[in-house]
């Protein structure tokens, strides 16, 4: 027995190592700009839970919400560098990597979310996903960014002309900046977390966002006038880094894909409920909502913006695909 002991020990060591590898956990980090309880945060958590179940705990994803790891532009870079593995981004910052995505942010392009998802759940979404993967972002699901409207502090807005001269907070996005300029207002690019303070201090007069963001951040407590334009109906994307994606087995990739698709469906359901709730909460607190009666005058103002992106080869094909259907 003793002569075979070294061999037995070696075999036992290999078996122990194999067992350890089978049960090994890979810990990942997920970035999210929204607070706990927000539809995006809930859907992202459902994604991480499903991944954990599907991989039998081999992948454990910790969600860092409320931009605790940094603002969105920083998080985009963190994902590309591998400091963050999973993230949920708006389409604005992603358009810097894939210019064609700018088409999705053009004002009054989509009539509503159903119109938008008709395209993103089809060939257009597949084309964007392929381009984003080349740029380092693997899309696992399209989330609803909602319809965006303007809201102002110490300024009553009953028409888009009332926005003239206002300092309006926007994302660091070329499309949003140009859109506000065409309304004769001044765009002020600020990180999302700084908007409430800017409204309170008067360094900006207005901002624009979807209604759940308006309510969940407490912006409604300062900005009491909302001009409901739904000027941009935009998607957001649940993505993982291409670095992480390349390390996954075919089986694990399928698990991530399935979890992403499920979370996107869940998020859209949560979103519709949250929009209605946000408007109800703000209304009860005295916020005044004025709905745009005719978007045509605003659309005409956007003519230079449409012309610019129709002339751009990187966005022309996407625009024609949307307008033609």
Q: What are φ and ψ of residue 130, in 5° steps?
A: -65, -40
pLDDT at 13 over 90: no
Per-residue pLDDT of 289-312, as tens digits, reads 999 999 999 999 999 999 999 999
Distance CA 47, CA 87 (A): 11
- Give the length of the chain: 325
> What's the pLDDT at 1?
44
> What's the pLDDT at 100?
86
pLDDT band at 51 (very low <50, low <70, confident <90, very high): very high
Domain ranges across the chain? 19-323
Q: Which stretch of 3-17, 85-99, 180-194, 261-275 has the lowest confidence by average pLDDT?
A: 3-17
Distance CA 246, CA 98 (A): 20
Contact between 153 and 96 (Cβ < 8 Å): no
Residue predicted with more confidence, 90 or 204: 204
The mean pLDDT of 75-95, rounded to a whole number, is 90
> What's the pLDDT at 11?
52
User: CA 33, 38, 42: angle at the middle one, nearest 5?
Assistant: 95
Full-model pTM: 0.80
The mean pLDDT of 161-182, rounded to a whole number, is 94
Q: What are φ and ψ of residue 19, in 5° steps?
A: -65, -40
Distance CA 245, CA 325 (A): 33
> What's the pLDDT at 8?
54
Distance CA 307, CA 111 (A): 19
Question: By percentage, how much of the chain surpasses pLDDT 70?
Answer: 93
Homologous superfamily, domain 19-323: Bacterial extracellular solute-binding protein, family 7 (3.40.190.170)
The mean pLDDT of 281-291, rounded to a whole number, is 97
Distance CA 106, CA 103 (A): 5
Distance CA 255, CA 259 (A): 6
Q: Which stretch of 28-32, 96-100, 291-295 has the lowest confidence by average pLDDT?
A: 96-100
Looking at every residue in the chain, the average pLDDT score rounds to 91
């Amino acid at each position: 027995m003793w002569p075979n002991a070294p061999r037995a020990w070696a075999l036992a060591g290999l078996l122990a190592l194999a067992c350890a590898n089978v049960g090994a956990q890979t810990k990942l980090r997920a970035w999210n700009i929204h607070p706990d309880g927000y539809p995006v945060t809930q859907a992202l958590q459902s994604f991480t839970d499903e991944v954990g179940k599907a991989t039998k705990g081999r992948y454990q994803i910790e969600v860092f919400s409320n931009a605790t790891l940094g603002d969105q532009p920083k998080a985009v870079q963190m994902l590309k560098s591998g400091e963050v593995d999973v993230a949920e981004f708006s389409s604005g910052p992603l358009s810097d990597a894939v210019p064609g995505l700018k088409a999705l942010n053009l004002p009054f392009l989509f009539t509503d979310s159903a119109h938008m998802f008709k395209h993103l759940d089809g060939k257009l979404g597949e084309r964007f996903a392929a381009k984003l993967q080349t740029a380092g972002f693997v899309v696992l699901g399209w989330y609803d960014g909602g319809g965006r409207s303007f809201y102002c502090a110490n300024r009553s807005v009953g028409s888009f002309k009332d926005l003239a001269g206002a300092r309006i907070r926007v994302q660091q996005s070329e499309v949003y900046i140009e859109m506000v300029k065409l309304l004769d207002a001044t765009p002020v690019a600020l990180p999302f977390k700084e908007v409430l303070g800017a409204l309170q201090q008067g360094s900006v007069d207005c901002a624009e966002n979807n209604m759940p963001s308006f309510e969940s951040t407490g912006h409604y407590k300062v900005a009491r006038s909302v001009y409901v334009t739904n000027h941009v109906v935009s998607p957001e994307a649940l993505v993982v880094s291409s670095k992480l994606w390349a390390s996954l087995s075919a089986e694990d990739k399928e698990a991530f894909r399935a979890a992403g698709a499920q979370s996107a469906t869940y998020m859209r359901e949560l979103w519709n409920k949250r929009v209605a709730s946000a408007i109800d909460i703000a209304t009860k607190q005295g916020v005044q909502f004025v709905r745009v009666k005719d978007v045509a005058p605003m659309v005409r103002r956007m003519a230079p913006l449409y012309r610019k992106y129709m002339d751009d080869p990187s966005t022309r094909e996407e625009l024609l695909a949307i307008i033609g259907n």
